[in-house]
Amino acid sequence: MMSGLLAALLLVGSEPAGRAFAADCDRSLSSCSALLQQQDAAAANQAQLAGVDQQIAYSTGAIAALAQVVAQLQTQVEDQQSQIQATNARLDVLGRQVRLSQADVERRQVEVTIHQELLYQRVRALDKAGAVSYLELLVTSSSFTQLVNRVATIDRVIGGDRRMVDELKQDRARLQGLRDQLERDRVQQQQLLDQQQRQLARLAQEQQAQRGAYAAQTALEAQLESRRQALQADKASIGAQLQSLQADYQRQLSSLLAQRQASGGAGGGSFSIYTDLRIVPQVDAGALNAYFSGTAFAGLGPAFVNAGRRHGVNPLYLVAHAIEESAFGTSQIAQGKNNLFGIAAYDSNPNAAMSFPSFQACIDYEAQFVRRDYLDPQGAFYRGPNLTGMNVNYASDRRWASNIAAIYLTLPGGLNPV
């Protein structure tokens, strides 16, 4: 019969060889220890591969995120550059407007100065004429009306000059105000430009940092991929060594099983928590019935032997298991539900235990169930084809395996080598 470790090792390369199979070989064989060590190496290699794969997945995500950040920063840099260009253009326009308005102010100032000088010259000329002019106007005027008209004309001329000067001053003041406003606008635009240039510098610095992070992450991913390839190569090497060790172990196991079959079960080591429960020794049903005499198991010898042979499970293990779980068939579950193995009687709800029409039906069900789910490498609860492996999921009591092994050794034929 192929050992559980042999079946498990056939999966090397597609599934990790976990430490759950550690007990799945006959430790009396010299190749068992090397197999267990190589199995540990395979498990460590698989764990490292899983870790590297996880790091690569993270690195790939980080690289994608960094690339997106760099692209976004590039868009912001280009947008900021466009804003700076627009601000520079506005500054150029405002600069020209300020210069033109300053020239207008200066022209108006010149005109004001000229007209003021003309006005002052006219007034000084009149003042120089003084009383003589006015007396002359009085003497030469033919009438008072003519005199008044002459004085009014002189006042209008002087008043017109003053109004012209005032208007020129107002125009100059308006132009000066416009120039000042343009200058303030120019200063604001210059401040905005300075702010935009500082922001551009910050964006460029951040972009450079993110590009550096992107380059570093890319380099790290390359290192991780190199590490992954090395681990894959190690995995292939470990798998090849496991195949070779498995072949050695299978040859030794086949030889041992052949010896046991030839001797009717003689030879080999005593039963223990590491014994392969799929090995079916020769068991005397009559000797079991004599052992069961006076108990609730009376007459069940053939049921245990036949169920073990039918499903490939050691019959004496089934007996020891039933004794451990049901106290020789006297437990409440055994008496009320014909359940000798505590099947489905969970610690949290013992009353959920399955019911069977007879002890014989329960024995046959348990043999089939244990072989399929606990002793087969493809089984749902397989952790090795022995009591140690079964103890992982079958019972919460860590002493369960040792208790059954101890009971086994008290049974008829229990001390025989297996």
On whether both 189 and 226 belong to a single domain, the answer is yes
Q: In total, how many domains does the chain have?
A: 2
Same domain, 315 and 252: no
Is a pLDDT exceeding 60 seen at residue 6? no
In tens, the pLDDT along 382-402 reads 999 999 999 998 888 888 998
349: which strand partners?
346
Please check whether residues 217 and 251 belong to one and the same domain: yes
In a domain, 245, yes or no: yes
- Domain range for residue 284? 266-418
Rounded to the nearest 5 percent, the helix, strand and coil shares of the chain are: 75, 0, 25
Residue ending a domain, among 196, 228, 262, is 262
Domain termination site, one of 204, 228, 262: 262
Mean pLDDT of 26-39: 75
Q: Which two tokens stand for residue 95?
A: 């600069």
For the stretch 174-221, pLDDT in tens is 878 877 887 888 888 899 889 989 999 999 999 999 999 999 999 999
Tell me the CATH number at 397.
1.10.530.10
Contact 309, 281 (CB under 8 A): no
* Same-domain status, 41 and 58: yes
Percent of the chain beyond pLDDT 90?
48
Q: What global pTM score does this model have?
A: 0.45
129 within some domain: no
Same-domain status, 325 and 374 = yes
CA distance 358 to 371: 20
